[in-house]
Amino acid sequence: MIQIHIIFTLLSYAIFLVACLAGVLFLVQERLLKRKQVGSWIFRLPSLEVLDNLNLYALGLGFIALSIGVLFGFLGIYHELGYWWTGDIKQYLSVGLWGWYLIVWWIRLRSTLRGKRVALLSVLGFTLVLFTVIEAGMWQSSAHPYVDTRV
């Protein structure tokens, strides 16, 4: 179970990186187009619509992969320890990250937000991913030994 947790969680992080990169490209291209600073290289970038759709699909796939990863993480904890919640800082952050992407994906699916705002939320979401993976281990010892940043 833990292997499935690891695979799907890391897969979700990779997919969220794709969403982040699509968001960054969207923001850069939109800014250049608004300032009318169109160079020859900008024609090699995908259109804003393609980047927005890529962001949508990456958010959806990443959310599904993260959901599977979190689910199997909790199942693995229950199998090993006999209870679901250990109070580990990464559990709190992972559930918060799951909630973040649930809200962003739901907002995007309802077409409440599109384009620039969703691109910004994708970049911010990946910042939260990085924080969850790297920085959280510095606060408290964690049951996730793959990143031990304590000195």
Q: What's the pTM? A: 0.84
Q: Assess if residue 149 is contained within a domain.
A: no
> Cα–Cα distance between 75 and 4 in angstroms, integer?
10
Q: Assess if residue 46 is contained within a domain.
A: yes
Name which of 101, 70, 98, 68 is nearest 84 in CA terms: 70
What pLDDT does 134 receive? 81
Q: Assess if residue 71 is contained within a domain.
A: yes
* pLDDT, tens digit, 9 for 90 and up, residues 95-150: 999 999 999 999 888 877 778 888 999 999 999 998 888 876 676 565 555 444 44
Q: Which domain, by its residues, includes 98?
A: 2-138
Average per-residue pLDDT in the chain?
Answer: 85
Number of domains in the chain: 1
Is 15:58 a contact under the CB 8 Å cutoff? Answer: yes
Q: Assess if residue 44 is contained within a domain.
A: yes
> Cα–Cα distance between 150 and 142 in angstroms, integer?
10
Q: Assess if residue 146 is contained within a domain.
A: no
What pLDDT does 43 receive? 66
> Cα–Cα distance between 98 and 22 in angstroms, integer?
20
At 65, list the tokens: 């992969």
